[in-house]
Every structure is written in C-alpha cells, then in structure tokens.
C-alpha cells in the first residue's frame, strides 16, 4: 500500500507481485542423533514463528557453501560439527502473503526458492550459539519431525511437508 494514498502500488498489487522474482535461498534441516529436528523461534516476530535455519545465497556462492555459512551465522556451528546427509532434489519455492512483501527484503522479492540440505549434528547442544553472528532466533529446541508442520507458518508448511517426505528415510 502506498502510505500517502492508501491505494495499492503496482509493485504490491496482485499483478505487480507476480512480476517480482523469488529470492535464491538455502535451508537446513539439522537433525540430532535421536532424529529430532532443530527449530528456532524467530526473534523479529511477535507471534510464534518457528523455522529451520535458512538464508540467502551470496553472489558467487554455491548452495552448499551458503548452507554451511548460514549454519555458522544462525546456529554457530562449523562444517566439522555436521555431516551433510542429503540435498533436496529440486528447488522448493513459496510466495509470501501479499501483506508481507513490502515489509520483507525491501519489497524486492515475492518469496523464496530454496535448496535444502539435511545435516546430522555431530556435537553437543552446548556448541549451539545463537549469538555467533546476528541473532535470528530468540530460542531453539529439538522437535520430533512429525511436529514440524504444525509449528511452521502456514505459507511455508507445504515445503516442510515435502522435505519430511523426501528426507524421511534419512532422518532416523
């Protein structure tokens, strides 16, 4: 919405939104030795907004490099702390709800397209450091994979459900 007129701008109207690109991104399904999945409560949301670590791919960076960088930045873990078990076969995409587009990523993207990595955490919980870079999660926990879809915001739920299907044989 334009603040001055109260009318939708071309960029935030339905037609304008469909022209916006998707942000290239990676996601990390981090599992512990019990097969539980790491989720964090986003620090920038007032309501429950749990998610697995994820973030953008920098210019010149491969998805795998981006995933390991994001793991370090968001969770404080090094490549030596994990074993990469799998990579999603396809890029998985979602669109943000229209009202969020102007508020996220400067309104440049309508959503994200993500390459996901399943990683097994090889260390102890004490190694997890949410303050390593720039705190993105206020708290975190390990959850049984079956609980993931119910914890995640509705517009990301189909991606999480697909990941659970694709990675099912490697979670335990």
From the first residue on, what is the mean pLDDT of each consecutive set of 10 residues in the chain (172 residues)? 42 71 97 96 80 96 98 97 98 94 92 98 96 93 96 93 96 78
Query: For residue 44, what pLDDT is reported?
Result: 77
Residue 44's SS3 state is: coil
Query: For residue 30, what pLDDT is reported?
Result: 98
82 in Cβ contact with 71 (< 8 Å): yes
CA–CA dist 90, 113 (Å, integer): 10
CA–CA dist 115, 26 (Å, integer): 5
Q: Which is nearest to 148 in space by CA: 43, 52, 32?
A: 52
Cα 166 from chain centroid (whole Å): 17
Query: For residue 49, what pLDDT is reported?
Result: 81
Query: For residue 11, what pLDDT is reported?
Result: 53
């Amino acid at each position: 919405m334009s603040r001055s007129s109260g009318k939708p701008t071309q960029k935030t109207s339905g037609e304008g939104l469909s022209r916006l690109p998707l942000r290239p991104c990676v996601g990390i399904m981090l599992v512990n030795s019990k097969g539980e999945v790491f989720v964090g409560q986003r620090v920038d949301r007032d309501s429950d907004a749990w998610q697995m670590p994820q973030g953008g791919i920098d210019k010149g960076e491969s998805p795998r490099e981006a995933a390991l960088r994001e793991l370090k930045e968001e969770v404080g873990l090094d490549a030596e702390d994990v074993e990469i078990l799998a990579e999603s076969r396809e890029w998985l995409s979602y669109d943000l709800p229209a009202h969020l587009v102007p508020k996220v990523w400067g309104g440049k993207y309508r959503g994200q397209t993500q390459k996901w990595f399943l990683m097994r955490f090889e260390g102890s919980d004490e190694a997890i450091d949410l303050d390593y870079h720039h705190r993105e999660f206020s708290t975190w926990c390990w959850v049984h994979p079956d609980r993931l879809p119910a914890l995640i915001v509705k517009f990301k739920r189909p991606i999480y459900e697909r990941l659970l299907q694709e990675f099912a044989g490697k979670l335990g």
